[in-house]
Structure 1
């Protein structure tokens, strides 16, 4: 990234992971508490990042991650943060910079804070470098000059987050690998399975194809999930957009994690030419389940490999607007009715 390039948009992660968990009950008071909780709000442990935790009346609404900007782009980053604050009507935020270059990351944080100005309520500014952290808001000598040693996984709030069902991957690159698809040397063999699947389902009308996809999803939800042949069949069935939407209509917020595992297995087992629908469904289930990081990774691959795919545009909009997964409860009934009317499939849950 250079000064001449547009600052990439912030990844936004609404704090609404599902009906059975509530991260807002994690009591966060000190900088170390924020550092323990942030990986679970993002879904992974950040690196070389600026993380912004936005809250209203003491309740976290959104966590945003931005690539750590080079010198000269701090004003652009501050503009993004200011826009997020206005968009979500927050009254307080915390800035956390993660960077191996501690002094450089400190300068970025200070410049972003200055660029934000006094109209943005910055509660805390924290630098994380290596295994130590420094509060840049401390003005009373409360933080040692050498920083405070910290292991986020050992903090009590990390254990509590896991107990509440929140997950934090080791890094964002782990999620990127999850959506990357099969290894290149496996693609020729997998293309053979796709060709076979095309022959098998080519004569099916839409109602039969939609029912076949619903049956395949239900079978794939049972561990160990779909094998390569079943994955190829699901991907080919989902080439019809109306049939594909059966897969989305079947999910609920309580089953979203199971559907994510299913479609992640399909993405890992199909060649690029039939990957868009499985990627779109994986991203959709990630949104329903509150996994903003996985949603963003799906969006990025779709933008790169199939920029015209309409479901990719919808997922990008969901991410950019940081629409909460709770919205699914209002939308799913209408989607199921529409999909049922088009495909003839009933009982989509």
Structure 2
């Protein structure tokens, strides 16, 4: 698995490449296989799977879907670099990935095994070529610096990122479920004025939460029910590109942690869209995983997940918000003005 030579590309510097993974993934990978796609000598989509269930054919298909010309694999195993008995397992995994990628016309340039993604971690090549080295400091990675400047939080473990959208109090969520069910479903033919009122209510709730005041139960119940109205939900997607996007995103995160299934699904997808639009792929991915677990056939969640997996850029996703502004105009709702995204946001 010889790597091509591109002196200016971090793809040829395993220590730097591995150090950049936490900033790209949003957390420090452990017991994982990470597939770094590349095209035109530039890093593309990053795919990760648990080492216990690597789903190699799926990884290969997703890499091809992302437009990869080649990939580099990083096997993160704390028993890896210094474990002779593990070498065969890692070599077999790299070989399986080579075969599956070849089915899609994608080349595996290199496969590295690293014991820990941290400064001073040790990496070796998976095929026994003899190459090895040290991992650079992830906190000093240019990719990490860019992530921090973009306002992204980096997590020590994937579990910490998952907690951002996990239900915080199952018993309390069950109580809310009973209240929502008692209120009943919305009338499918209800007037546009009611949809407009619900959108304005969501905007007010976001500002209230931002001011430090928790939502009351009746507000939460109304939000949960109103998000089942496509006009309300689709209009609120526009908030992801408005100048109060952070305030709105905090509301979706709060609802994701407090609402029960199935009502939390729409909050999760709104959170995913907002995170994706500002370039936070890790949070978008975790939110979509949770949404698709609740509702595997959710159309918007599936579309965003496919876009994320294929490496679609945030600026392309932001174009979907135009529909929200158009609906708001039709309903007579004034939304926050669109914000100007810098180059790094895309």
Which TM-score bucket, shorter chain as reference? 0.7 to 0.9
The 1:329/1:209 distance shift into structure 2, 3 A limit, reads: closer
Of residues 70, 78, 86 in structure 2, which corresponds to 1:100?
Answer: 78
Question: Secondary structure, in 3 states, of the residue corresponding to 1:61?
Answer: strand
1:210 corresponding residue in structure 2: 196
Work out whether 1:244 is the aligned partner of 2:236.
Answer: no
Shift of 1:253: 7.4
**Structure 2 unaligned blocks of 5 or more:** 1-7, 81-85, 338-346
Within the alignment, does 1:325 sit opposite 2:311 as a pair?
A: no
Contact 1:126 1:133 in 2 (8 A): no
Q: Report the Cα offset of residue 265 of structure 1.
A: 0.6
Relative to structure 1, the CA distance from residue 111 to residue 248 in structure 2 (aligned partners, 3 Å threshold; closer, same or farther) is same
User: Relative contact order: is structure 1 or structure 2 higher (C-alpha 8 Å, sep ≥ 6)?
Assistant: 1
**3-state secondary structure, aligned to 1:298:** helix
Partner in structure 1 of residue 61 of structure 2? 83
Which stretch shows the higher mean deviation, 288-297 or 91-100?
Answer: 288-297
Q: Distance in 1 between matches of 2:247 and 2:203?
A: 10
Instruction: Choose from 23, 30, 44 the match for 1:61.
Output: 44
| 129-138 or 171-180: bigger deviation | 129-138
Please state whether the residue corresponding to 1:47 is helix, strand or coil: coil
Answer yes or no: is the 8 Å Cα contact 2:14–2:135 preserved in 1.
no
CA contact (8 A) 2:66 2:311 kept: no
Q: 1:96: how far off?
A: 0.7
Aligned counterpart, 1:179: 165
| CA RMSD, Structure 1 to Structure 2 (Å) | 3.8
User: What is the deviation of 1:252?
Assistant: 0.5
Deviation at 1:113, TM superposition (A): 5.4
CA distance in 2, matches of 1:96, 1:54: 11
**Correspondence for 1:285:** 274
**Closer/same/farther in 2, CA of residues 224 and 32 from structure 1, 3 Å limit:** farther
Give 1:195 deviation, angstroms. Answer: 7.1
Query: 2:124 maps to what in 1?
Result: 135
SS at the partner of 1:268?
Answer: helix
Output the CA distance in 1 between the equivalents of 2:243 and 2:40. Answer: 28
Residue 110 of structure 1 corresponds to which residue in structure 2?
94
User: Over residues 276-300 of structure 1, what are the superposed CA-to-partner deviations in whole Å (9 max), with x where a residue is unaligned?
Assistant: 2212212222222333333333333
Contact 1:256 1:289 in 2 (8 A): no
Greater mean alpha carbon deviation, residues 41-50 or residues 98-107: 98-107
2:176, 2:276 → 1: CA distance? 28
Q: Is the 8 A contact 2:44 2:311 kept in 1?
A: no
SS at match of 2:320: helix
| 1:169 to 2:169 alignment | no
Distance 1:124 1:224, change over 3 A: farther
Q: Are the aligned partners of 2:72 and 2:110 in contact in 1 as well (CA < 8 Å)?
A: yes
Alpha-carbon offset, residue 142 of structure 1: 5.3
**Long gaps (5+) in structure 1:** 1-24
Task: Provide the C-alpha distance between the structure 2 equivalents of 1:296 and 1:109, rounded to a whole number of angstroms.
Answer: 25
Q: TM-score, normalised by structure 1?
A: 0.73
Q: Provide the rounded CA distance (Å) in 2 between the counterparts of 1:124 and 1:305.
A: 37
Q: How many residue pairs were aligned? A: 314
